[in-house]
Structure 1
Amino acid sequence: MNNFEPMDFDRPGEVIVHTIDLFADEEAEPLVAARTDSELARAFLYSSELSENSIKSTKKDLGRFLLWCQHRSKMLLQVSIEDLIAYKAFLKDPQPIAMWVSPTKWPRNDDRWRPFSGPLSEPSVRQAFRVVKALLEFAKNAGYLQRNAGALVKNIKTVRDARVTRYLSTQAIDYVYAAIDGLSTTTPARIKGKARDRFLLISYITTGARLSELTEAKMGAMYTEGDGRWWLDVVGKGSKPRRLPVAPAMLTAFRDYRLAFGLLVHAQRDESTPLVLSTRGRALVSITDEAASNAMKSLFADAGALAETDGDLDSASSLRQASAHWLRHTMLTTHANNDVSLKALQDTAGHANISTTATYLHKSDKERHDEIIESLAGK
């Protein structure tokens, strides 16, 4: 049986105005009507216009922190600098494991549910602690807290590579296509899954879209304006819309995928069917981000096995480490080194800063390498 009390982070139906007895100074009346830390977290969550995915991930980070505080019998107003330092360490290694960790994702009301599936990676720790610092800053600015210990504790530093290295080579991608070709089609669900996964792979590799941008899109978002050019409308970070060029291979895979699900070849512009469908059941419902990610990881595992059988250990190693996001890196890296302008790639990728796009450009490194080696060879 778990000891975690459910926390209500749903959007409040109405605003309740009342006084708060946590503060001695009546002149400094809080700007928020929260009576509890959970209510404060809910107010923080909905004070910004976050996307559905951002709300989901922020809820998770807020819930973990408040459960940790609850376990230590701490309210937010009691959280100290030492507590926050301890929490950073806890995120890297949640202990005791039996209390906090379960590799299986159980429903929230199941006694086997746990807040973590394992230790968080460094980027995930950084993001989780960023949410905690933002919560405490909000609480201080709103008058819920008189002091903010988070302002005095720095987040962990992440060393950024000068260039992107997490992408797949042409050879590795060929193994992924071979893995798709080898998928079973013995049942209707497997036929659907094979067509969907091929479409999903080609969509990643040709558009560079983020996982959530594809899973949140609708089939009607793929369209042409009558000039032979096809587009896919997506909504990116910060709820910013952009449209992505659709390659002929992606369009073909899209049509085959629709036929596998019993749909007409062409989608109507106003069609609200989810772009990436689940193969479970007959209802046309969207696949979850986690399921889409796992589908790609399963393909990478199969492709890695093929590469290892062929003796291509470099491709096998890359494929074992790869995630769906590597396909976005692969697309951007390929085009950056094929002389596509950085501005065109920035707009396609949805990068706020062109310097981020420039990290995908490896051509200058290769040219520098060749010049040095040729010079050493006396050419």
Structure 2
Amino acid sequence: MAGPRRTFRESGGADEHAGIADDAQAAKLFLRERASHSPHTLRAYLSELRRLAAWCTRERLGPFSDLTRQDLIAYRDALQAPRHDAAGPVTRAAPASVSRALAAISSLFAWWQRTGYLTVNPAEGLAAGRRARLTWTPVRFLPAAALAHCDAVAAGDAPAGVPPVLWMRRRAIWTLYRYGGVRLAELVWHEEQALPHVDVDEARQWTLHVLGKGQRLRTIPLPSACLPALRAYRRAVGLPPDPPAEERLPLIHSERGRALGASGLYDEVRAVFALVATRVPQEDSAMRAALERASTHWLRHGYARTLVVDHGVPLPVAQALLGHASVQTTAAYARTGQAEARAFVEGSFPDND
């Protein structure tokens, strides 16, 4: 719906729509069930889905099923924002028009959750007012044990049937999403801006530069742990291990030497998750199901949680690394359940008796 990305089905349960392959098919089924009996409703829903898709393209987001609650709140804010017309005064969309738009989008996501295509509804309460901004909580996390399995597999040898060069590329892509915390589209090559690109300092430390949401530039220090996989990939494709200062080439290439697009990047990360899922013990069905659902954005959530929760990185620093427009979004990762809260309190006030 928003770019050429293939997405995933978030529910592992069996239901009448278990064969849905991607967002496009899921949206068609939604329109067929909810709007097929009324041409007027069908036109209205199609118009709103296309408007959301156009916004996603401008913001370099998508597919729909990867949109977070914060993304949808930003979309709501964009609908309500003043419009500047050189030929006339500043205007705002009519409240009724905004309400209709949000109702259509909310209906789509509610239907997707009800039918099992999504496990959560990021649009719940979207039209209930700006107070909803404070209720957003990230939910698509992989357990630490699952991430550890992924890291171990990605650090290993190429699986049977995968050429070594392609495996090194897959490892490099995995590494950038895992340790850079970037959005899917932020690793897509932009020729005119020569982004994303990497700077290397005198200590051979890498800094990643990407073009984020709202066309904002962002600088991300890459940890030393991820550099061996990136250097190995560069050697495999005939490049020096560290990018020279004058290099203006895509970070990742397709088999034909072109820059790899969003769909290709997405598929490579999903391939790692799928491989790891096959190596999870049979009795650990929950971890296997999570791996089968996971996407690049799950790695971004994991990166954020590692910074904010596991290592207590100050929120303004984490906000800059993640490219969040609001520190409230970053703060959402610090929200804990009752068990975690009790562990923090017990650790802060130990029993000395």
* Shorter-chain TM-score range: 0.5 to 0.7
Q: Are residue 345 (structure 1) and residue 304 (structure 2) matched?
A: no
How far did 1:205 drift?
A: 1.5
Q: Are residue 312 (structure 1) and residue 287 (structure 2) matched?
A: no
Aligned counterpart, 1:172: 146
How far did 1:169 drift?
A: 1.9
Q: Of 299, 302, 306, which residue of structure 1 is paired with 2:275?
A: 302
Q: Are residue 239 (structure 1) and residue 198 (structure 2) matched?
A: no
Instruction: Please say if residues 220 and 271 of structure 1, whose CA atoms lie closer than 8 Å, have aligned partners that are also in contact.
Output: no
Q: For 1:145-196, what per-residue CA distance to the aligned partner results, in whole angstroms no more than 9, with x for missing partners? A: xx98845624134137642121222211122234432533767xx2222111
In structure 1, distance between residues paired with 2:185 and 2:45: 32
Structure 1 SS opposite 2:225: helix
Query: What's the TM-score, normalizing by structure 2?
Result: 0.61
Instruction: Please say if residues 185 and 191 of structure 1, whose CA atoms lie closer than 8 Å, have aligned partners that are also in contact.
Output: no
How far did 1:247 drift?
A: 1.0
234-243 or 176-185, which deviates more: 176-185
Q: For 1:285-322, what per-residue CA distance to the aligned partner results, in whole angstroms no more than 9, with x for missing partners? A: 1111011111111211121121143x323321211110
In structure 1, distance between residues paired with 2:206 and 2:336: 29
Q: Of 140, 148, 158, which residue of structure 2 is paired with 1:183?
A: 158
Q: Of 75, 94, 102, which residue of structure 2 is paired with 1:155?
A: 102
Aligned counterpart, 1:35: none
Aligned counterpart, 2:228: 252
In structure 2, distance between residues paired with 1:371 and 1:210: 30
In structure 2, distance between residues paired with 1:343 and 1:288: 31
Stretches of structure 2 that go unaligned for 5 or more consecutive residues are: 6-23, 32-38, 51-62, 107-122, 125-131, 348-352
Aligned counterpart, 1:202: 175
Structure 2 SS opposite 1:155: helix
| Letter matched to residue 261 of structure 1 | V
| Letter matched to residue 170 of structure 1 | A
| Letter matched to residue 46 of structure 2 | Y
| Letter matched to residue 276 of structure 2 | A
In structure 2, distance between residues paired with 1:289 and 1:234: 14
| Letter matched to residue 299 of structure 2 | L
In structure 2, distance between residues paired with 1:168 and 1:297: 14
Structure 1 SS opposite 2:280: helix
Distance change in 2, residues 1:352/1:317 (3 Å): same
Aligned counterpart, 1:213: 186
How far did 1:237 drift?
A: 0.9
The correspondence of residues 1-379 of structure 1 with structure 2, limited to 5 A, is 82=41, 85-87=44-46, 121=65, 123=67, 150-151=97-98, 153-156=100-103, 157=106, 158-159=123-124, 162-180=136-154, 181=156, 183-184=158-159, 190-216=163-189, 221-226=197-202, 229-278=205-254, 280-281=255-256, 284-309=257-282, 311-337=283-309, 338-362=311-335, 365-370=338-343
Instruction: Please say if residues 188 and 261 of structure 2, whose CA atoms lie closer than 8 Å, have aligned partners that are also in contact.
Output: yes
Aligned pair count reads 266
How far did 1:216 drift?
A: 2.3
How far did 1:261 drift?
A: 0.9
In structure 2, distance between residues paired with 1:301 and 1:269: 36
Stretches of structure 1 that go unaligned for 5 or more consecutive residues are: 1-53, 69-78, 92-118
Structure 2 SS opposite 1:360: helix
| Letter matched to residue 315 of structure 1 | M
Instruction: Please say if residues 221 and 232 of structure 1, whose CA atoms lie closer than 8 Å, have aligned partners that are also in contact.
Output: yes
In structure 2, distance between residues paired with 1:90 and 1:327: 27
- Which consecutive segments of 4 or more residues in structure 1 shift more than 6 A? 54-57, 88-91, 140-143, 371-374
Aligned counterpart, 2:111: none
Distance change in 2, residues 1:306/1:185 (3 Å): closer
344-353 or 332-341, which deviates more: 332-341
Between structure 1 and structure 2, the one with the greater Rg is 1
Instruction: Please say if residues 220 and 270 of structure 1, whose CA atoms lie closer than 8 Å, have aligned partners that are also in contact.
Output: no
Q: For 1:10-48, what per-residue CA distance to the aligned partner results, in whole angstroms no more than 9, with x for missing partners? A: xxxxxxxxxxxxxxxxxxxxxxxxxxxxxxxxxxxxxxx
